[in-house]
Amino acid sequence: MNFRSATQLRTSTPLMALSSEFGAIGNICQADLPRRSFLKVAATAGLLAVGSRAAQATQQFSSSGRPPNQSQSGELIDLSIHDASELVRRRKVSPVELTNACLTRIERLDSTLNAFITVTPELAAAQARAAETEIQRGRWRGPLHGIPIALKDLFDTAGVRTTAGSGVFKNRIPTEDAEVVSRLKAAGAVLLGKTNMHEFAFGGSSLVTYFGGVHNPWERAHIAGGSSGGSAAAVAGRLCYGALGSDTAGSIRQPAAYCGIVGLKPTYGLVSARGVIPLSWSLDHVGPLARTVGDIALMLQTIAGYDPEDTASTPMKVPDYTADSQKPTATLRVGVARDFFFESLDPEIERATNEALAVLEKLTAGLKDVAISASTQERRRSTVRLAEAYAYHAKMMAASPEQYQPETLARLRPGVEIDTVTYIQALRELAHTRRTIGQIFQTVDALVTPTSPILPPAIAEFTGDRNGSIDFVNRNIRNTSPFDVYGWPTISVPCGFSASGLPIGLQISGALGQDAVVLQLAHAYERATDWHTRRPSGIGLTRNTWKNRTATASPPLRRYAKTAAEHAGNLIPQTNQHAMSIPLLGPLLDPGKHRMRSPQRLRIRAPSARRYRFR
């Protein structure tokens, strides 16, 4: 059986494109329309959403195994890696179609999210066609074959610019791939491009970057977190199926929590960091971001393993992460580290965490409060990080300081004051901590904490220093940075939303080398909840924004908008009734006339690839 041609993509049911595309807001916003026209567009979108939901509910796989309408980009981008891979393996969907859907999504939305620094459509198209040909000939390489993936822009890619988000490296083109990039290519993954990030990974806002700040797909007026903010925003915004990031103080887990996706910091040394622009060699971890725990397991399977050319790489067993993640959790003992990690929590995060703990208690052998040394870890980590970061940047700072962002320079320069004795002592303390701290796992199998004590702040709060206030900097990584010192595998999974619709993350950690146990518990929690199924149905248009924009409308129009909002809320599961978003539909207006077209006369096609049409 051959793949269907990518040029055959069409939406047979007009409403099918609605619920899956929040990209229209990238083409139409309040600034483009008078207020009344703007509201009419959004209101009609909400009313049409009812039909969309009903149509989606009736979709079933055909007797031939082909899912009707699944090739439309709106549905394709919502697939998990696991599901997309299975369709590709069975030759029901082409890697070209998946790539086309992602590139179209990037074209529509990235001007709003700013998740990518470099997009590589020609490379992605060539890799997708090669994957299609191989699979047609029975040479399926595995679950990532033909799956579009993005890379944080500090992973070296041969022939493709790698900038680390900095003007220092704005024209840097490596000649070799990072080890993890080589492994992804060997697995047949399609590389879409390089994602935006906090400059040189030295911060948690992803606003300090030569290429402009990253925006949160759930509310574009808020940060996406950092330093892997672009990777998290790209995954949450459905611009790619998965992405790689790096984590030195929480730079995978914190943006994953802020963007409502899954992010894993593997055991230190499990995944090679060779060919990755460093922040701190002793603390840097490389790991995946995706929308489900199962997808994280598939990505980890590909990138994990000993690299003899990486001095930090450690030989350790690499099990079948997918199989192990699906094992029962009834015998797992779960520790809850309330001291330190639960202090000064945002009330909504505390509520969501307690609800998550109640779920875990039913899934496992029970919960047990445990104490863990955490309050002193940040001093040790910050000393090692700063000394090693300064060592890497010293010559470049001296040669071209003007090419750095001023906030990054201000953070790096104090490294000159750390003397050799102080650094070596801190490094020895870090090594000793990693050897001894794991004794806690004699009485528990996994440890649970909130990922972050705070919700993703508004970008407007980052005035002056784009790194954020001292309070933000300290609290932002408070719950994540100790685990970079410990070296333990640690994952963040979605566990709820605030009343304003901002995501909340739960952090699950395990002993050194026990990444499979972390995935096992995370997967069980994910199956017992539906948080991972939520998606941003409108970029930056939350319920509060909707209320603000309808406040000045006429009473009849406010009633019309209210009805639309209620119906549009049905597009996504809403256990938290306050966390809803409204999709906007550009096609509902005649071009240049701002005049409503009759919904009955609408014929909506799947988004065209335009620049990225494949042959």
SS (HEC) of 139-194 = CCCCCCCCCEEEEECCECECCECCCCCCHHHCCCCCCCCCHHHHHHHHCCCEEEEE
Mean pLDDT of 589-599: 29
One domain, residues 595 and 489? no
Q: What percent of the chain has pLDDT over 70?
A: 75
Instruction: Return the pLDDT at 379.
Output: 83
| Tokens of residue 326, six digits | 């699906």
Dihedral angle sign, alpha carbons of residues 463, 465, 471, 476: positive
Residue 468 lies in a domain: no
- In the annotation, is 598 catalytic? no
- In the annotation, is 280 catalytic? no
**CATH at 154:** 3.90.1300.10
- Tell me which of 566 and 264 has the higher pLDDT: 264
Residue 215 lies in a domain: yes
- pLDDT at residue 291 above 60? yes
One domain, residues 511 and 554? no
State pLDDT tens for residues 526-552: 999 999 999 997 653 434 443 443 444
State pLDDT tens for residues 313-331: 999 999 999 999 999 999 9
- pLDDT at residue 158 above 80? yes
One domain, residues 155 and 297? yes
Number of domains comprising the chain: 2
- In the annotation, is 152 catalytic? yes
Residue 430 lies in a domain: yes
One domain, residues 176 and 282? yes
State pLDDT tens for residues 374-401: 887 888 889 999 999 999 999 999 999 9
Mean pLDDT of 340-357: 97
Residue 97 lies in a domain: yes
Q: Which of 85, 251, 282, 452 is catalytic?
A: 251
Residue 94 lies in a domain: yes
One domain, residues 22 and 51? yes
Long-range contacts formed by 327-332: CB under 8 A, 24+ apart: 327/520, 329/363, 329/364, 329/520, 329/521, 329/524, 330/363, 330/364, 330/365, 331/364, 331/365, 332/364, 332/365, 332/445, 332/446, 332/517, 332/520, 332/521
State pLDDT tens for residues 474-501: 999 999 999 999 999 999 999 999 999 9
Instruction: Return the pLDDT at 539.
Output: 52
One domain, residues 50 and 159? no
- pLDDT at residue 516 above 60? yes
One domain, residues 174 and 231? yes
| Tokens of residue 79, six digits | 């697939």
Residue 385 lies in a domain: no
Instruction: Please report, as a single letter, which amino acid is at residue 109.
Output: L
The residues pairing with 490 across neighbouring beta strands, listed in sequence order, are 265, 509
Instruction: Return the pLDDT at 551.
Output: 44
Which of 533, 559, 585 delimits the end of a domain?
A: 533
Q: Output the 3-class SS for 370-407.
A: CCCCCCCHHHHHHHHHHHHHHHHHHHHHHHCHHHCCHH
* pTM of the full structure: 0.79
Instruction: Return the pLDDT at 3.
Output: 55
Q: What percent of the chain has pLDDT over 90?
A: 73
Band (566; pLDDT cuts 50, 70, 90): very low
One domain, residues 551 and 440? no
Mean pLDDT of 209-222: 98
Highest mean pLDDT (candidates 460-469, 512-521, 591-600): 512-521
Residue 386 lies in a domain: no
Q: Report the run of H or E that residue 608 belongs to, with start and end.
A: none
Residue 320, burial from CB neighbour count under 10 angstroms (0-12, 13-18, 19+): exposed
- pLDDT at residue 280 above 80? yes
Residues with Cβ within 8 Å of 551's Cβ and at least 6 positions away in sequence, in order, are none
Band (2; pLDDT cuts 50, 70, 90): low
Q: Which of 152, 282, 509, 537 is catalytic?
A: 152
Which of 496, 518, 533 delimits the end of a domain?
A: 533
- pLDDT at residue 564 above 70? no
Please report how the helices 121-136 and 81-89 are oriented relative to each other, as an axis angle in degrees rounded to 10: 50
Instruction: Return the pLDDT at 301.
Output: 98
Long-range contacts formed by 310-316: CB under 8 A, 24+ apart: 310/179, 310/272, 310/273, 310/274, 311/281, 312/268, 312/269, 312/273, 312/281, 312/282, 312/284, 313/269, 313/272, 313/273, 313/274, 314/267, 314/268, 314/269, 314/270, 316/267, 316/269, 316/270, 316/513
Instruction: Return the pLDDT at 306.
Output: 98
- pLDDT at residue 613 above 50? no
- pLDDT at residue 565 above 90? no
The structure tokens 């796989």 sit at 61
Q: Which of 52, 205, 227, 509 is catalytic?
A: 227
Mean pLDDT of 392-421: 98
Range of the domain at 193: 79-379+412-462+473-533
Instruction: Give the separation between CA 219 and CA 275, rounded to whole angstroms.
Output: 34
- Tell me which of 134 and 26 has the higher pLDDT: 134
Band (172; pLDDT cuts 50, 70, 90): very high
Instruction: Give the separation between CA 99 and CA 88, rounded to whole angstroms.
Output: 12
One domain, residues 231 and 323? yes
One domain, residues 151 and 166? yes
Mean pLDDT of 505-522: 98
Residue 568 lies in a domain: yes
> What is the dihedral angle through the alpha carbons of 314, 320, 322, 328, rounded to the nearest 10 degrees?
-100
Instruction: Return the pLDDT at 538.
Output: 61
The residues pairing with 506 across neighbouring beta strands, listed in sequence order, are 450, 493
Q: Cα–Cα distances in Å, from 388 out to 245, 308, 417, 487?
A: 19, 22, 12, 17
CB atoms within 10 A of CB 221: 13
Instruction: Return the pLDDT at 72.
Output: 58
Lowest mean pLDDT among 20-34, 152-166, 540-554: 20-34
Instruction: Return the pLDDT at 248.
Output: 98
Which of 508, 533, 558 delimits the end of a domain?
A: 533
One domain, residues 94 and 241? yes
Q: Cα–Cα distances in Å, from 446 out to 252, 418, 440, 452?
A: 19, 36, 9, 18
One domain, residues 316 and 333? yes
Highest mean pLDDT (candidates 206-215, 366-375, 592-601): 206-215
